[in-house]
Structure 1
């Protein structure tokens, strides 16, 4: 069941021309398109594109990607640059869209990028990160938290780069 964000009335599905069935508030007499949060995650490469940064957070030993929510009025790219800077002190030099996935459990559209940073030597984690480590691509593939969205994004990116089966240099 979905409810109107304005008045709390339970929404019904009502036909909207050229849109199909759309949630509708009978009280407000307004169509209420589904709303969700947007977050970004990043496959962070060092400046030579040889290593990938994985982090651990919240007291858990799981290696994941840097991620964070997109703020109101902020583009996804701006959020990515901000989150990486806030959490790791690293500056993004270049970024490329990788993939997106709607995560039903948390009502979040997760948008993933791969990005190269300017200088890996200035890595300094803030209070949100328990630990951060650089991994060669195949090591990152092995170390990433299994059966996670982070693993799905990383493996998809490595596959696109032809690195899923490539031996280490």
Structure 2
């Protein structure tokens, strides 16, 4: 969101040079800048003890491809809390271990996605009202089911597969 008017007092903003930031929308009445805003959400690859990952389909995102669990952060939440909450809400799975997997800019929706790898015990998936379908699939099959290369889901699945391959190689050489 780009500001044109001050959200506090309603005054039309001017462009003011602010150090290394360059020209920034500025309210002369409130004497403060208003940097562009964007949404922040999480995306989580949920893996079970059998090397399967949970994929879900949501019609408002795609009727063709599956995705990973994702959701918007609410004010006051940490990214970690949001990831655990979204996994439980969308597919009814309790996260046992969570670790960061990187951050991703999703330009099509002007949002920052904070990626996680979540470990959970396999159980029947319980879908929320916003999820049309969800399945556990072998991680090696997941790349064929998510949006092709370049999507955040694809990137996280690919990263997980590389990590799992590395673990297997390391384990077999001992």
Q: Which interval holds the TM-score relative to the shorter structure?
A: 0.7 to 0.9
Aligned to 2:51: 50
Q: How far apart are the structure 1 equivalents of 2:11 and 2:108?
A: 23
Deviates more, 1:74-83 or 1:138-147: 138-147
Q: How far apart are the structure 2 equivalents of 1:36 and 1:6?
A: 18
Q: How far apart are the structure 1 equivalents of 2:44 and 2:144?
A: 17
Note the 1:110-129 alignment, pairs <5 A: 110-117=113-120, 119-129=121-131
Contact 1:98 1:157 (8 Å CA) reproduced: no
1:154, CA displacement in angstroms? 2.3
Against the structure 1 CA distance between its residues 55 and 16, is the aligned structure 2 distance closer, same or farther, given a 3 Å change threshold?
Answer: same
Q: How far apart are the structure 1 equivalents of 2:144 and 2:11?
A: 48
Unaligned runs of 5+ in 2: 169-174
Give TM-score, length-normalised by structure 2. 0.80
Against the structure 1 CA distance between its residues 61 and 18, is the aligned structure 2 distance closer, same or farther, given a 3 Å change threshold?
Answer: closer
Deviations for 1:92-140, whole angstroms, at most 9, x for unmatched residues?
A: 00011111112233221111101001x3224211211111111112101
Against the structure 1 CA distance between its residues 70 and 9, is the aligned structure 2 distance closer, same or farther, given a 3 Å change threshold?
Answer: same
Q: Name which of 152, 155, 169 aligns with 2:155.
A: 152
Aligned to 2:8: 6
Aligned to 1:63: 66
Against the structure 1 CA distance between its residues 7 and 105, is the aligned structure 2 distance closer, same or farther, given a 3 Å change threshold?
Answer: farther
Give TM-score, length-normalised by structure 1. 0.82
Instruction: Give SS of 1:133's match.
Output: strand
Unaligned runs of 5+ in 1: none
1:94 aligns with 2:114: no
User: How many residues align structurally?
Assistant: 162
1:84, CA displacement in angstroms? 0.7
Higher helix share: 2
Instruction: Give SS of 2:103's match.
Output: strand
